[in-house]
Amino acid sequence: MNSRRLVWRIARLVEIRDETPSARTLVLQIPGWPGHLAGQHVDVRLTAEDGYSTQRSYSIAAPADGERVELTVQRVPDGEVSPYLTEELTVGDEVEIRGPVGGWFVWRPNGTAPVLLVAGGSGIVPLMAMIRARRQAGSRTPFRLIYSLREPGERYYAEELRLPHPGLDVTYLYTRAVPDGWARPAGRLTIADMNTGGWPADFGPECYICGPTGFVETASDILLAMGHDARAIKTERFGPTGG
Amino acid sequence: MTEPAQDSYQDGNALAGPLREIFAVDVTAAAGQCVHCGLAGPVASLRVYGPAPGMVARCPGCDEVVLRLVRGPDSAWLDLRGTVSLRIPLPGPGVPDGTGEGPA
């Protein structure tokens, strides 16, 4: 189904959805797109008129849907690429995309082990692709999501995650500000959070952690301390833009 | 993934695109072994510094260089002297695995 050669393809922006004041979902139409797995990412390349070009990797936010590919991009204030993608790019514009790439941090709908997703800030993006892939496939694999972020206004996909998803439990953790009446005080992820919102190690879950480096290391250390198998913990980390 | 911080590093997942320019299959899912400390683990778990002048992937156990990749205008340099071996998962002949790579 897929060509072996990794090529740059022209992607046209067909839809924009704002997730937060500084993050938006870009729906791209990419002729010849070979399909992808939840958790994979793409490289996006921008080329200036003088020929200078630069590229960044972005996780795909939704499962394969023909030639439509969704990315959610967080604006990094001094970034070279994300301000353009989140503020300048408009419907009908084109960018270059290559992918999908990455075959390790992926979830396949035929998986039967329970799944724990741990997101820090914009690390939710590839994990949301897994949640959506589960739903798309009609999978009954039990999922739990622990989503850590600074404050409620930074939630991505808030409406969609509010809807009931049988077999998906969602736990929000806020590190700086909590909604009124919220029982858990603001604070970083702890072993108690992982005990409450995650799975016991005995259940043999597959664990996917995505977020800033410090967050990923903390979450990973907690899971190891709880007795989870290191081989069942998959991580993807990036800079300090998230939770 | 989003843009890396300047004083931070990415992980080996960031090598997926650049390595797929060279290899017919995804190498980030491969298990590599570090020459320096013997730690074995997926290429995706390496600590990657870069991109300029090239990507340098260090062992998460001992911080020594495991892999270096420099992409020039007409060639790529891949330095694997810090790697004992790579065990690359492959589907059976003729079985597409859906990761964007066909069988080798």
Q: H/E element holding A26?
A: strand A23-29
Altogether, the residues listed in chain A come to a count of 243
Cβ atoms of residues A155 and A163 within 8 Å = no
- As a whole number of angstroms, the distance between CA A59 and CA A63 comes to 11
pTM score of the predicted model:
0.89
> Does the beta-carbon distance from A238 to B1 stay under 8 Å?
yes
- The residue among A51, A70, A101 that closes a domain is A101
Residues in A closer than 8 angstroms to B25, CB to CB, are 103
Interface of A with B in 121-140 (CB under 8 A): 122
Residues in B closer than 8 angstroms to A35, CB to CB, are 98, 100
> Does the beta-carbon distance from A3 to B102 stay under 8 Å?
yes
Whether residue A24 lies inside any domain: the answer is yes
Whether B1 shows a pLDDT value over 60: the answer reads: no
Whether residue A149 lies inside any domain: the answer is yes
Look at residue A201 in the predicted model and tell me its pLDDT: 97
A160 and A208: one domain?
yes
Cβ atoms of residues B91 and B25 within 8 Å = no
CB count in 10 Å sphere of residue A96: 17
Whether A240 shows a pLDDT value over 80: the answer reads: no
Whether residue A109 lies inside any domain: the answer is no
Residues in A closer than 8 angstroms to B21, CB to CB, are 6
Diameter of chain B measured on Cα atoms? 44
Residues in B closer than 8 angstroms to A3, CB to CB, are 102
3-state secondary structure of B20: helix
A163 and A220: one domain?
yes
Q: How do residues B26-79 score in pLDDT, each as one tens digit?
A: 999 999 999 999 999 999 999 999 877 899 999 999 999 999 999 888 999 999
A231 and A125: one domain?
yes
| Residue in A closest to B12 by C-alpha | A236
Whether B96 shows a pLDDT value over 80: the answer reads: no
Cβ atoms of residues B96 and A3 within 8 Å = no
Task: Point out the least confidently predicted range of A105-114, A182-191, A207-216, B51-60.
Answer: B51-60
A210 and A161: one domain?
yes
Whether residue A92 lies inside any domain: the answer is yes
Task: Point out the least confidently predicted range of A2-11, A168-177, B43-52, B79-88.
Answer: A2-11
| Residue in B closest to A100 by C-alpha | B100
Look at residue B97 in the predicted model and tell me its pLDDT: 55
Nearest to B5 among A81, A101, A240 (CB): A240
**Cβ of A111 under 8 Å from any chain B Cβ?**
no
Whether A171 shows a pLDDT value over 70: the answer reads: yes
- The residue among A77, A101, A125 that closes a domain is A101
Question: Average per-residue pLDDT in chain A?
Answer: 93
Residues in B closer than 8 angstroms to A1, CB to CB, are 96, 98, 102
Cα of first residue to Cα of last residue in chain A, in angstroms, is 37
| Radius of gyration of chain B, Cα coordinates, nearest whole angstrom | 14
**Cα-to-chain-centroid distance, residue A221:** 20
> Does the beta-carbon distance from A103 to B16 stay under 8 Å?
yes
A92 and A180: one domain?
no
A136 and A174: one domain?
yes
- As a whole number of angstroms, the distance between CA A180 and CA B86 comes to 52
Cβ atoms of residues A239 and A212 within 8 Å = yes
A72 and A120: one domain?
no
Which residue reads 């077999």 in tokens? A167
Whether A130 shows a pLDDT value over 90: the answer reads: yes
CATH value at residue A71: 2.40.30.10
A28 and A68: one domain?
yes
- The residue among A70, A101, A132 that closes a domain is A101
Residues in A closer than 8 angstroms to B20, CB to CB, are 6, 101
Q: What is the DSSP letter of A197?
A: H
Q: How do residues A86-106 score in pLDDT, each as one tens digit?
A: 999 999 999 999 999 999 999
Q: How many domains does chain A have?
A: 2
Higher pLDDT, B53 or A165: A165
Residue-number span of the structural domain to which A186 is assigned: 115-238
Q: What is the DSSP letter of A40?
A: -
Cβ atoms of residues A10 and A25 within 8 Å = no
The fraction of chain A above a pLDDT of 90, given in percent, is 86
A52 and A26: one domain?
yes
Ranges of beta strands (E only) in A85-240 are 94-101, 115-120, 143-149, 168-174, 206-212, 233-238
Q: What angle do CA A116, A197, A117 make, to 5 degrees?
A: 20
Whether residue A2 lies inside any domain: the answer is no
Whether residue A152 lies inside any domain: the answer is yes
Whether residue A172 lies inside any domain: the answer is yes
Whether residue A87 lies inside any domain: the answer is yes
- Nearest to B30, CA basis, from A104, A212, A44, A175: A104
> Does the beta-carbon distance from B17 to A6 stay under 8 Å?
yes
Confidence of residue A239 (pLDDT cuts 50, 70, 90): low
| Candidates B1, B20, B97, partner chain A, best to mutate (most A CBs within 10 A) | B1
Q: What angle do CA A113, A115, A120 make, to 5 degrees?
A: 160
- Nearest to A128, CA basis, from A140, A118, A141: A118
CATH value at residue A194: 3.40.50.80
Q: Which two tokens stand for residue B63?
A: 């911080």
Whether A62 shows a pLDDT value over 80: the answer reads: yes
- Contact residues of B toward A, CB < 8 A: 1-5, 8-14, 16-17, 20-21, 24-26, 28-29, 42-45, 89, 96-102
Q: What does residue B49 show for φ and ψ, rounded to 5 degrees?
A: -110, 145
